[in-house]
Structure 1
Amino acid sequence: MLAGKRILIVIGGGIAAYKVLEVIRRLKERGAEVRVILTRAGREFVTPMTVGGLSGEKVFSDLFDPTEEQDIGHIVLSRDTDLILVAPATANLIARMANGIADELATASLLAAAAPIIACPAMNQRMWAHPATQRNAAQLAADGVRFIGPAEGRMAERGEAGVGRLSEPMDIVAGVEAFFAAATQPKPLAGRHVLVTSGPTIEPIDPVRFITNRSSGKQGHAVAAAAARAGARVTLVSGPVSIPDPKGVDVVRVETAQEMHAAVFAALPADVAVMAAAVSDWRPAEVAREKIKKAAGDPPPLAFVENPDILATLGHDGRRPQVVVGFAAETANVEANAARKLAAKGADYIVANDVSLQGGVFGGDRNSVRVLSAAGIDVWPTLAKDEVAERLIALIAERLG
């Protein structure tokens, strides 16, 4: 599978750099052509002589090498390859990648890269968990960078353990093999248009107050990203969220349920619609032009009117997509409520979950769902939201035939 594949490895400056020597050896065993860029910090942990002896190629490190840069070496290195593997991807290196800093050969090559990039994080568990590192990793993921790890275990620091270790060499090699295997697989939604809604809607009360819900948009955005990876043209209609846009997706931003309703029907025709947004069922009947001031006595009355039911309208519309999927966030009687929704909304599938569970589905990274259809109920195990999205897209592709 790796025979003839050209892989460029960027070795960052971490104690785990020694593990990358084994990665090089295993990739070479499988027929890959391996070239290496050592960061300045990486040279403090492994030597160019050792790396070159294993790779069988010249090791690159200097951005201002007078022989290599005559031909714009950092451009050639990053373009003449099938995959770039960054290992160990330290907190510093991840931060520079996320912010487009090109201060040495490694980061300049990454910024100029046309090839896909896989990063293998390795750092102290507190550094990995820090909001800055998580923010940088999320930005890289939104930019299309894939990740292997980090793994959980003991740290180099005495007595410390947690998530942050570099994945084991064979796990990294397996991840590289899986990447190339996926790249050769057919795209089951190629030529299809998939419409996805995601996130909450907000309904204004006055210029400074509004009603909304706790949806983060993580599940809907994951579905949009999975559909794009399956080859579809994807339109994502998103309420206000704080997560990055999925790569390769057309995003339409809205706030209210009425705006989302209009954007959904403006995006038709579509082959598939996945209505994952948590749409407000009601909105205030009147929106005050000025901020409602607090006064002594009873609070001001707040009357509501019903918002348009986007899923039901779409499910019974003459322009209905071939496959319609709805979501049901429930706090009790999950299956019964979802079954009623399946019958009433004209959907092919309802993806139901219990949002009252401890651990937090709203805003969390994992989900436990039941998928209802005319064929019955399929209970899925608790999975990462990305995995839920992949399984749902595979189910949709199978139904499309």
Structure 2
Amino acid sequence: MLKHPKNAVMVLARCFSDLDRRLLLLILIPPLSLIVFFSLSSLSPVRSFILGRTILHPQQAVMLNSTDSQQSDVVFAPSSWKDELDRSRIAVCLVGGARRFELTGPSIVEKILLEYPNSDLFLNSPMDSNAFKFSLLNSAPRLAAVRIFRPKPMPESELQLRVLTAHNSPNGIQGLLQYFNLVEGCLTLIQQYQKQNNFTYDWIVRTRVDGYWNAPLDPKFFVPGKYLVPPGTNYGGLNDRLGIGDLNTSTVALSRLSLLPQLDAAGFHQLNSEASFKAQLTTRKVTPVLKRLPFCIVTDRKYDFPPVRFGVPVAAISSPGPLSGVKCRPCKPVCQGPCVGDVMEGLNKGWGWTDWANGTLELCNAHGDFDEGWEKMFDKVAGKKLSSERKRVWKLTVEKCIANFNKMRNRTGIWDTPPVDEICKTGITSGPK
């Protein structure tokens, strides 16, 4: 017992004071902990020090992983970045002639358009006997613009002849101008559609009609502030068979014709397509990012085998890849393993080629037409769904083709084509291509 009342009061005061402090701490600790936690969430270097690894916002993680050669201890949520992309406006720009679109088109629909179902498709293609195959795009989730035009010779100016070279271009300067016009024409369609609907796209994916995709377009290929292109097959410049960027970088990359005067003013002359592409990014200070992508360009062109020095290797479409836009076709590979290394080591290294190490590349003998029985080879690689689309195209009647195009036209914002019955009759009546 406490003998002195004064002492008792002092002890009681200290007890209540300690109790108050405990209560105060119990009240303050939870919110303070939350504040510290969220502060560390925004300070990745501090959190890295504490946790021993970095956890980034998906955009930051994508930028850190922008090249295959970069290695970092990064953990990011690809699903979150995918969700962000699904909320973004994406234009998919598809250019080129239909050729083997019954092989490539279904893969583009499945691996790109259905992978990003909120994306808008823009098609810019010349009219030919294969254009009827574009009726396949009736299965695309969203159609913004379809332009099938009758190609005409383009005037060749002194400036263009000075900046560009016809060397190694199958159709000379005219071929380059037609190709550049095709690419920039798709950008024009996108700009027209934006204006009509009073919005702007966040991203543009530019790929080719003759590209076969064996895996989905991964969210990591969307790199903010930079322009992504495949490595290899660069012919002294940058691979121009596919590109992905935001609206600003894509506008530079797709302005193939209108930027030629700037290249001339900067002193660039006698450039091939790939070198010209690299120069226009350089002059406009757009940073390219190289990353391997799961697609190849299906070709009917014939090439000597084995290719030597300036020859062109043609990959089997069954190659594991990713092939990053190399020429390919369905075939029984005639060169695998060490054979591939022997062939690729003999080619001109200045032109650049896709990565062939670790069995990622198998070669065809493409000196003639497609191998006998190529259809079964393709179907085995593509699977039932894509092979059924190939067969459906070959069974198309003129009436069904017209019906498909009319359905497409009814849900397309910009439609600029010859009469659809002409498109269908021109191709179907001449038999499968």
TM surpasses 0.5: no
Larger radius of gyration: 2
Q: The TM-score by the shorter chain falls in which range? A: under 0.3
Q: TM-score, normalised by structure 2?
A: 0.25
Question: Which fold has the larger relative contact order, with Cα–Cα distance below 8 Å and residues 6 or more apart in sequence?
Answer: 2
More strand as a share of residues: 1
Structure with more of its chain in helix, by fraction: 2
